[in-house]
Amino acid sequence: MNNGSSDNTALSAAGPEHTTSAGPATTAASYPGAGSASKDSVPAAPTAAAGAALTASAAPPASAADDALANPRYARFVTDLLGVMAYGELSGFERLSSDARFSPSLADRASLGRLAVQEFEHFELVGAFLADLGVTVEDAMSPFQASIDAFHERTRPGDWYESLMKAYVIDAFSGDFYRSLADTLDPRTRDLIGTIDSGEGAAHLQRRLKEALADDPRLASRLALWGRRLVGEALTQAQRVGIEREYLAGLLFADEADHTQHTTALFSQLTRNHSRRMSALGLTA
């Protein structure tokens, strides 16, 4: 889950460089079988078609699905994806912990604290998975840190309620995005994503937001506008990463001839899901 903050520290999605709903990218990470990039030598990101072609040529046969992670190119794509997820979870932990201080009640403070602990547990799960691949979680996350932080600096919440809405919108958007990838992944990685996506954070945030909105029309109007801005930013970053980062094309659309059509369909579905969640809060998306 990824959430927003009302202080100066940033959170989890992508920035203006090369980004994603879950996170961005500006450099190459250290992958099994891949070179690392220095600060002064940043390789150009492959196009979606190039990423798909690489995956299609490197993907193991179905009978070897359990050994997919032994394939260096596939492991590189997965490492990229998990780097985004890990930094999202770590940032979510930091932001929820920080935002808890501004809670209007002790019950809210305790609830956000519990969600923060869940975020850190997810971060540790991803880190352990990456360690099994021979990659440190720090190496996997570092290419995404600056642009993720920049995204959240641009969408810094103005108060506790905006922070709560940001946590709700970004958590749900990220979950949708990861689930859209899960069926294309190997069983181990798919199980990891399922575990991370199984928490009740979104349900708690929805209940708390509905309570806050019930008797405050002015707050409802403000948060509806804020929610539209957040999902617009998230979609922009995800669209960018679909073009510029190889893992989205490589993992999601490796077997599809028309990548643009299917990418458009994915983002349309993400938008519809967001609209349904806003309607559940009594807000217009």
Beta bridge partners of 38: 41
Structural domain contains residue 42: no
Closest CA to 78 of 118, 18, 29: 29
User: Looking at the 3D structure of the chain, how many domains does it have?
Assistant: 1
d(CA 17, CA 230): 18
CATH number where 61 lies: 1.20.1260.10
Residue 28 and residue 71 in contact, taking contact as beta carbons nearer than 8 Å: no
First CA to last CA across the chain, in angstroms?
21
Structural domain contains residue 39: no
Assign residue 19 a region (left: φ > 0; alpha: ψ between -120 and 50; beta: otherwise).
beta
Provide the whole-model pTM: 0.70
Structural domain contains residue 56: yes
Structural domain contains residue 285: no
Range of the domain at 116: 48-280
pLDDT by residue, tens only, the chain of 285 residues: 455 444 433 333 333 333 333 333 333 333 333 333 333 333 333 333 334 343 333 344 443 445 788 888 888 888 888 998 899 899 989 988 888 888 999 999 998 899 999 999 999 999 999 999 999 999 999 888 887 887 888 888 888 999 999 999 988 888 888 888 787 889 999 999 988 876 667 788 888 999 989 878 889 999 999 999 999 888 877 766 655 556 655 655 555 566 667 677 777 888 888 888 888 888 876
Q: Using the structure block, give the residue that is written with the tokens 């509905």.
A: 210
AA letter at 180 = S
Q: What distance lies between CA 272 and its chain's CA centroid?
A: 18
Structural domain contains residue 192: yes
d(CA 1, CA 73): 27
Find all residues with CB under 8 Å of 91, minimum gap 6, and list them: 2, 10, 11, 12, 148, 149, 152
Structural domain contains residue 7: no
Structural domain contains residue 2: no
Element holding 42 (H helix, E strand) = none
Beta bridge partners of 41: 38
How would you label 125-156 residue by residue, b for 16+ Cβ within 10 Å and e otherwise? Answer: bbbebbeebebebeebbbbbbbbbbbbbeebb
Structural domain contains residue 73: yes
